[in-house]
Structure 1
């Protein structure tokens, strides 16, 4: 592999509450998953995040989630599929408008947190997300976990399905993400994270949470912007990829 996309969840501050160093993350990544106001972010934060991405030449994606500010969108919600589809359309549309004012545009969609994990297996919610994206713009790719329902349905609907790996999250043996409630689910050592990304991008197996080997094939790798030491991890990942002759390039 000669190129890989690095994405990060950004724009997750809200009002007077600040989360992450988005400006610093933009120096290492090629794609920015911008919160759309439902799990985090407000109009001013969204606009300034899009401006920072445009200035850095970073592609903007809609980081859509459940309507769950209190839970940061990480809780599963039993939402009616039609309501969920409307919520996703609303979020994409809001980001499209604010991105346009910042001189950029929305180029893909990545679900967030509880929604992201739900649509690995939940067919009804996965279909709602796919239907929403297709109704807004069938040219928008959908980013998701390899083997997930949302990517299967996106492909079946004629959308581009983009598989994603996670630099700083532990995996279960079946390729799903280990719950954040479990010890060791979030990785914090920048050098260990960088080595793990290099393994994934060169086709080597990584260790699942139980120590078993796991092969992950992905077009994009996520470094969470809100993780402890997120910027240091992104810098270490970029340095390791550069040293291996692997360029960082957006998948769109």
Structure 2
């Protein structure tokens, strides 16, 4: 069993008076936060609050860029050329850097959101375009990748600093991609089940697909989605179970891909 693992959450997804998730409470539990940058969710005020909260609790800050799709929450696929995609990532990363700096912090990692992330997990060239753009802004940024997918292939090819991520609240296909949200059982809402499956994966050093297939992988960080009603319960339960098993929750180092 590994000695430590990072626990991250997607957050800062409220917009104006519309509240999505309990960011303040999640920031008391997680060690890294993926902050929405205003395209799929979030706005400048929400980002400012999230950044300030992360700095106050010494939580690692990550930019979480997605498609410009507020109505669809960034979960609808959009076909963009690689140059446009790269600029979309640069624009959102720059916004995150500015808001983090104003709060006294720094963006240390980048994680793609929603449909953009799913497309990058299937298409290494698309992932490469997104990560090349991020690295052009900050060559030392840590790229958080969906372990075992084309995202990891692209990050390794670029020699980027990398954090391999598995999901506590999502089911897996045999190729390490996530089961489509429209399928039954794709999103896990039971906190006890989420904790049990993650501990099993960490003990195995592998992603365990719905079929039972094991895919060996490096596990640097565990994600849960802040927009699910059970997010805080899952986060607290998972952290408690990890620590009870002797696995400390701590920020990932972002070892360079190799």
Indicate conservation of the 8 Å contact 2:144/2:163, yes or no.
yes
Indicate conservation of the 8 Å contact 1:47/1:98, yes or no.
yes
Q: Report the counterpart of residue 105 of structure 2 in structure 1.
A: 104
Indicate conservation of the 8 Å contact 2:26/2:235, yes or no.
yes
Q: Report the counterpart of residue 159 of structure 2 in structure 1.
A: 158
| Residues 1-252 of structure 1 aligned to structure 2 (within 5 Å) | 1-203=2-204, 207-210=208-211, 212-215=212-215, 217=217, 218-252=219-253
Distance (whole Å) between structure 1 residues aligned to residue 162 and residue 60 of structure 2: 17
Distance (whole Å) between structure 1 residues aligned to residue 28 and residue 9 of structure 2: 11
Deviation string 1:83-103 (CA, Å, 9 cap, x unpaired) is 110010000000100111111
How far did residue 155 of structure 1 move?
Answer: 2.0
TM-score in terms of structure 2 length: 0.93
Deviation string 1:196-246 (CA, Å, 9 cap, x unpaired) is 111122226665323x23245321100111112110000000110110111
Task: Name the SS of the counterpart of 1:107 in structure 2.
Answer: strand
Q: Cα RMSD (Å) of the superposition?
A: 1.4
Distance (whole Å) between structure 1 residues aligned to residue 151 and residue 100 of structure 2: 25
Over 6 Å off, 4+ runs: none
The 10-residue stretch of structure 1 (222-231 or 84-93) with the greater mean CA deviation from structure 2:
222-231
Distance (whole Å) between structure 2 residues aligned to residue 3 and residue 219 of structure 1: 8
Q: How many pairs are equivalent?
A: 251
TM-score in terms of structure 1 length: 0.95
**Could you list the runs of 5+ residues in structure 2 that have no partner in the other structure?**
254-258
